[in-house]
Structure 1
């Protein structure tokens, strides 16, 4: 079985007045199709920064300084912003840890995720696997 996502030697740094701060230092992992993957660690250890780096959602002064990220064998680090934007939401996305800040607690999570997918891929419709309707 081939890797769906392969992250190799990913380094993310923050520039600060005191110098460079390493937020993710040589992170490597792979996820195969059908696998469930969890990234665990202490608060502030770089979990969210790693996820943001993979999805190109880092804010200045953070930047990926080294490494490789492949999705279905496609090297993502060399793609233009326009090419990467075509993959975002259609092939990859992120659900943030602070669910109360990002998800509406009075709506079903499934409905909110489907709404996000349909907003970016209208032809996906509102049909779930197995023919269920929302």
Structure 2
């Protein structure tokens, strides 16, 4: 059986992984643990998104650290909020009541961010 996320149905392994990631990212965001957020987004959430067939989420995670790193703490946290907003959408499609907005205290106003690739330089 494939582990990809099709038609809003997750395998048990992907569902458990998603729930674990949600808990980890909520705690790290609430405590503003920048290192943990970078690790979670770039390594854990991006990997999960690729396996689950969520390219938008994987792209946001890649942009966060590798393609266009933020210049300052606030910029980084705004981008993390975009990743968390996308993660919240994945949870909604999967029928998981993550409640990320209420639990992290963020409005995720940057959820429409796009990765434009490496900056010309």
Task: State the TM-score, normalized to the length of structure 2.
Answer: 0.35
Larger radius of gyration between Structure 1 and Structure 2: 1
Task: State the TM-score, normalized to the length of structure 1.
Answer: 0.33
| Highest RCO, 1 vs 2 (Cα 8 Å, sep ≥ 6) | 2
More strand by share: 1
